[in-house]
Amino acid sequence: MTTGETSLLVSKPWLRPMVSVEHFRVKRRMTAAGVVRAMRKMGLGAGELGRAYDALNEMRLDGKCTKFMGVAGAMIPAGLRSLIAHMAKRGYMDALVLTGAGVTHDLMEGLGERPSLLRSDRTDEELLSKGVHRIYDIAVKRRSYTKLESFVKRVLRSMPPGSYGTYRVIEALGSAIKDRGSIVKQCLSSHIPVYSPGIVDSVLGSQIWARSEGRVKINVLEDMNHIVDKAWSSKRAGALFLGGGVPKHFILLAAHTAGRPLSYAVQITMDRPEHGGLSGAKLQEAVSWRKLLPGAKRADLICDASIALPLLVAALEERNRHKR
């Protein structure tokens, strides 16, 4: 029996017994929700996408659930920045965990530095000589990092010396950003803490290191403290993971430590499980770690999140019109 089935079932007791596959029927002017909902009784990835939609929908409507979102990978420069900010505004999350690079990318755009799509056949050697950094098919200018550095320096100067959790440093940085489209800015106004426990492992982290002049220290244990309180604060916990990495594990660990194994979980990743990395581990594995409830509503979606997330959120935004 494969992960597929079990992630469907052992672990989805609320599902009905064997049902027939319902073929996707295309209609005139289908909406995003129309497309996703028509996939619910399909097999393979499409069916999993349908279950991801249902799990996220129920999680969102559950007033007693603290919602976590974890984002790894280059999703922000790829074009999901506005969408994630929108999700923060619309109550899709109560806490956000980003990689250091994620915070870096959001802040740089907040300073007016936009990434580009690589549209030439330049080699990495040529890009290097032109001061362009590559993330697969995305280009980020070196000067964007220089601009970020002076911003970081300025903000750090404004902070009283001491030891801070990353969420507090990010708060300080976010409040100095004007751009309303920024994720950290939006989270600030929506009272959503943004954690980045791996921040030192990023350009931003090294800039904080270089510019803090020893005045500002980072104490990631304070982040752990704070996110565990967050999880404690309500009856249930749920999570949406884009990719794995530190964000996925930090959220699972917080849910476990707080005694709130996830009741809802949706993972969107392209990694695979056989070589044992947490990023590609099927959600069900987390049951044995008491990080996920056996009966949790969940979906393991094997898809590039830059494709799946826009489709899912566009569909979820219609939910009032599509009563179930």
CA angle 241, 244, 248 (to 5 degrees): 60
Q: Provide the mask over 95-114, with x wherever binding to a second copy is found by CB under 8 A and - wherever it is not.
A: ------x------------x
Rounded to the nearest 10 degrees, what angle do helices 220-232 and 166-175 cross at? Answer: 90
Q: Which of 127, 159, 172, 176 binds a second copy (CB under 8 A)?
A: 127
The CA distance from 121 to 11, in Å, is 47
Q: Which of 58, 62, 111, 135 binds a second copy (CB under 8 A)?
A: 135
Residues 6 or more apart whose Cβ sits within 8 Å of residue 308: 49, 52, 268, 301
157 touches a second copy (CB under 8 A): no
Closest to a second copy by CB, 126 or 189 = 126
CB 194 within 8 A of CB 132: no
Stretch that binds a second copy, among 60-68, 150-158, 170-178, 264-272 (CB under 8 A): 264-272
Closest to a second copy by CB, 31 or 234 = 31
Q: Which of 156, 184, 231, 281 binds a second copy (CB under 8 A)?
A: 281
How many C-beta atoms lie closer than 10 Å to residue 304's C-beta? 15
User: Which residue from 207, 191, 199, 210 is spatially nearest to 164, judged by alpha carbons?
Assistant: 199
The alpha carbon torsion through 187, 144, 271, 311 (nearest 10 deg) reads 50
Q: What does the block give as tokens for 314?
A: 């566009």
Closest to a second copy by CB, 64 or 222 = 222
Q: How many residues bind a second copy (CB under 8 A)?
A: 139
118 touches a second copy (CB under 8 A): yes
Which segments within 191-278 are labelled E, that is strand? 194-195, 216-218, 236-242, 262-269
179 touches a second copy (CB under 8 A): no
Q: Provide the mask over 51-70, with x wherever binding to a second copy is found by CB under 8 A and - wherever it is not.
A: --------------------
Reading across the β-sheet that carries 236-242, which strands appear in turn?
194-195, 95-98, 65-71, 236-242, 262-269, 292-302
Residue 57: CB minimum distance to a second copy, A: 15
Q: Which of 55, 59, 69, 80 binds a second copy (CB under 8 A)?
A: 80
Which of 12, 67, 282, 291 is an active site residue? 291
213 touches a second copy (CB under 8 A): no
* Residues of this chain, 291-310, that bind a second copy according to CB under 8 A: 294, 302-308, 310
In the annotation, is 41 catalytic?
no
Closest to a second copy by CB, 25 or 64 = 25
User: Which residue from 100, 255, 269, 86 is spatially nearest to 170, judged by alpha carbons?
Assistant: 100
| Residues tagged active-site | 291
